């Protein structure tokens, strides 16, 4: 889709207005010149007709003077001057009638009217004539164009802060809260919006900082008693109770680690620890932190797939898929298939009742209220999104297939 910009739109509108005004002035100049020429022709026609009537004896001197009383067109009587004009003048228009003929001449930027009746010839000079003045209309057009240009510059200046505001919004969308600045510098609506946006960003930043501090303090306070409890459990006599205690403390430790993962991916701080990792190592780590027997997981790997990921986070995503697979499958077994473009987790069981988007919300439950997806798939979806991957699902031949798609985008070189 073509890129659209309010600046381009405004420039187009003002450009269109300027071109339209220019064309309108061209038409006006042509129209006005036609009127001016028509008025001159009417004037010369009346003068020529009156002179021909007088020269033909149809009207007397008094009638002649009365009809031409408002016309300043004296006769050229000097023979040499008259001959010079008649010889070198350009004929603009010539008209003949029963009384005689007349012609409009142009010589030395002046109009002359040549009138002939039988053997008599008159040459009149139009002292009132002025060449058509384009300068007036050009000056008016220049003034209008300058006003329009000034209006364009003013509008662009007033909305220029929108570009700065857009850059700040992009920073906010990318999670760069510390880089967002207040670009409002006036009292107009754009400045008010900028200031309101900056205030909202500051408030969100303060809330995020409080949340991060709270979670980190909670995790720190929980890790100490968990570590002490784990050490104490390892010191007691070996028994089933000891194994259960150690298992419980490991579970709690894993929950703390998952809480840290949730804090990282939901804060949108980005992945800073991406390294090339063998998929086999990621799966082994996931099985270890899931604390399950390896016979519950079947692995089919194509050669040695190496991906550029955050080892800790991606292992958590695989671990959550294994946990959910064992929890909801009918045979308590998960098959993992890895290729260079996807990673599949295949389990036997009933098809999901809703679309995958429904289940990747936190703490979504299935029909059995005792079995909740909790944060498992929610964490998986966010970890994949942080790595630029997609989370897919399909149901084939009685098997639920969860897919990490676009794996080829993170294959390590």
Picking from 107, 134, 161, the residue at the C-terminal end of a domain is 134
Confidence band, pLDDT 50/70/90 cuts, at residue 371: very low
pLDDT higher than 90, residue 321: yes
Instruction: Let me know if residue 236 belongs to a domain.
Output: yes
- Kindly state the average pLDDT of the residues 18-35: 87
Instruction: Answer yes or no: are the C-beta atoms of 256 and 372 closer than 8 Å.
Output: no
Same domain, residue pair 185 and 255: yes
Confidence band, pLDDT 50/70/90 cuts, at residue 5: confident
Q: What gap in Å lies between CA 148 and CA 19, rounded to an integer?
A: 11
Q: 120 by DSSP, 3-state: which?
A: strand
Instruction: Let me know if residue 148 belongs to a domain.
Output: no
Same domain, residue pair 302 and 242: no
pLDDT in tens, 249-259: 877 877 777 77
Q: What gap in Å lies between CA 85 and CA 72, rounded to an integer?
A: 19
Domain span holding position 249: 175-269
| Block residue for tokens 């057009």 | 141
Instruction: Let me know if residue 140 belongs to a domain.
Output: no
**Average pLDDT of the residues of the chain:** 84
Indicate whether this model's pTM tops 0.85.
no
Instruction: Let me know if residue 319 belongs to a domain.
Output: yes
Same domain, residue pair 104 and 208: no
Q: Please calculate the CA angle 263-265-267 and round it to the nearest 5 degrees.
A: 65
Query: What's 355's domain CATH number?
Result: 3.30.565.10
Instruction: Answer yes or no: are the C-beta atoms of 376 and 323 closer than 8 Å.
Output: yes
pLDDT higher than 90, residue 147: yes
Using CA atoms of 318, 322, 323, 327 in order, give the dihedral in degrees to the nearest 10: 150
Picking from 134, 159, 189, the residue at the C-terminal end of a domain is 134
Q: 238 by DSSP, 3-state: which?
A: coil
Q: Note the pLDDT of residue 3.
A: 53
Confidence band, pLDDT 50/70/90 cuts, at residue 269: low
Give the least confident one: 280-284, 299-303, 330-334.
299-303
Query: Phi/psi of residue 329, each to 5°?
Result: -80, 155
Number of domains present in the structure of the chain: 3
Picking from 214, 238, 269, the residue at the C-terminal end of a domain is 269
Q: Three-class SS string for 263-328?
A: HHHHCCCCCCCEEEEEHHHHHHHHHHHHCCCHHHEEEEECCCCEEEEEHHHHHHHHHHHHHHHHHH
Instruction: Answer yes or no: are the C-beta atoms of 331 and 346 closer than 8 Å.
Output: no
Instruction: Please give the share of the chain, as a percent, with pLDDT higher than 70.
Output: 92
Q: Note the pLDDT of residue 17.
A: 92
Tell me how crowded residue 125 is: count the other CB atoms within 10 A of its CB: 19
| Block residue for tokens 């946006």 | 197
Same domain, residue pair 206 and 335: no
Same domain, residue pair 239 and 329: no
pLDDT higher than 50, residue 372: no
Burial 343-369 (b: 16+ CB within 10 A, else e): bbbbbbeeeeeeeeeebbebebeeeee
């Amino acid at each position: 889709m073509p890129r659209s910009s309010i600046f381009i739109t405004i420039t187009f509108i003002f450009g269109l207005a300027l071109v339209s005004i220019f064309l309108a002035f061209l038409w006006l100049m042509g129209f006005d010149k036609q009127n001016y020429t028509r008025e001159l022709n009417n004037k010369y026609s009346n003068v020529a007709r009156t002179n021909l009537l007088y020269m033909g004896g149809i009207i007397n001197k008094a009638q002649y003077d009365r009809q031409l009383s408002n016309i300043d067109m004296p006769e050229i009587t000097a023979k040499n001057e008259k001959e010079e004009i008649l010889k070198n003048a350009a004929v603009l228009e010539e008209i003949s009638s029963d009384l005689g003929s007349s012609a409009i001449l142009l010589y030395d930027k002046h109009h002359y009217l040549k009138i002939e009746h039988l053997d008599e010839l008159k040459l009149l000079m139009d002292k009132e004539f002025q060449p058509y003045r384009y300068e007036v209309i050009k000056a008016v057009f220049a003034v209008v164009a300058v006003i329009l240009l000034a209006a364009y510059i003013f509008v662009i200046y007033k909305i220029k802060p929108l570009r700065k505001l857009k850059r700040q919004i992009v920073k906010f969308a990318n999670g760069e809260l510390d880089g967002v600045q207040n670009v409002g510098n006036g009292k107009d609506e754009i400045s008010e919006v900028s200031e309101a946006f900056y205030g909202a960003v500051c408030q969100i930043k303060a809330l995020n900082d409080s949340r991060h501090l709270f979670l980190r303090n909670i995790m720190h306070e929980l890790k100490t008693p968990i570590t002490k409890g784990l050490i104490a459990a390892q010191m007691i006599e070996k028994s089933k109770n000891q194994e259960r205690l150690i298992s419980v403390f490991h579970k709690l430790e894993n929950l703390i680690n998952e809480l840290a993962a949730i804090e990282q991916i939901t804060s949108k701080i980005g992945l800073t620890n991406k390294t090339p990792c063998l998929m086999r190592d990621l799966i082994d780590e996931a099985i270890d932190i899931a604390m399950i027997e390896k016979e519950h997981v079947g692995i089919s790997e194509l050669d040695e797939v190496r991906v550029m990921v955050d080892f800790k986070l991606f292992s958590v995503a695989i671990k959550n898929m294994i946990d959910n697979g064992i929890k909801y499958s009918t045979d308590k077994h998960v098959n993992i298939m890895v290729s260079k473009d996807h990673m599949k987790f295949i389990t036997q069981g009933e098809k999901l009742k809703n679309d995958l988007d429904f289940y990747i919300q936190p703490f979504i439950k299935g029909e059995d209220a005792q079995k909740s997806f909790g944060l498992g798939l929610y964490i998986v979806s966010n970890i994949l999104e942080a790595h630029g991957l997609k989370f897919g699902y399909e149901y084939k031949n009685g098997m639920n297939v969860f897919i990490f798609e676009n794996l080829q985008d993170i294959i390590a070189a």
